[in-house]
Amino acid sequence: MALQPSLRPLLIAGTFDAPHTLDIFLDYVCPFSAKLSLAIDNVLVPLLGPGGRYHGKVKVIFRPQVQPWHSSSTLVHEAGLAVPRVAPESFWPFSLALFKRQGEYFDIPTSTLTPLQIREKLVALAGEVIAVPSNAAGRFADLLLLKSSPNGGTAVTDDLKYTIKFSRQNGIHVSPTVLWDGLVANEISSSWGEQEWSDFFLAKVEI
């Protein structure tokens, strides 16, 4: 699957020239997405990284999946998409941090907050994760500022539109959803551990 240039940091495991692709659609405020994010970090990243059994064979692309029935979902995904523009190497660490603290952005905790206050919380979280360059956190905050036109969105609205259109044209409805080489792999579960992923790759990938 393709990625527009500004979203190349959404490749979170493997290499771009790997012949097989896992597109993993995740929502930052979905508990099952958070569970799968841990498996990605603990299982897939080592398996697909340098020295891993499937390095150069499989790549993983994080596909932001906004779930509009959660009122903060758009805002947290804006934040996720802002990170690649200021500190590409921090996209996955920021995503993991957001998944670990997703409870702060659930419906009830955010019900008394304005969108500006939620964005301030996200800026503070980015400040904890983005270490270099030193001005990255400030530039991150600028990307989440509303434009001067009344309905113009933010500097990452176009990236947000791209991710939403990509999900819609592929008929993605729930998170997490995983595509293997472009087709939905319904057998993949957020509960999978190292054994299940290893068995999956053994059946799918030629070494």
At 148-172, the pLDDT tens digits run 889 999 999 999 999 999 999 999 9
Mean pLDDT in residue range 57-78? 97
CA distance 70 to 109: 12
CA distance 15 to 179: 17
How many other CB atoms are found less than 10 A from the CB of residue 161?
Answer: 11
| pLDDT grade for 135, boundaries at 50, 70 and 90 | confident
Residues 6+ apart with CB under 8 A from 159: 4, 6, 7, 81
CA distance 65 to 13: 18
At residue 133, the pLDDT reads 61
The structural domains of the chain, with segments of one domain joined by +, span 5-204
Which CATH number applies to 5-204: 3.60.10.10, 3.40.309.10, 3.40.50.620, 3.40.30.10? 3.40.30.10
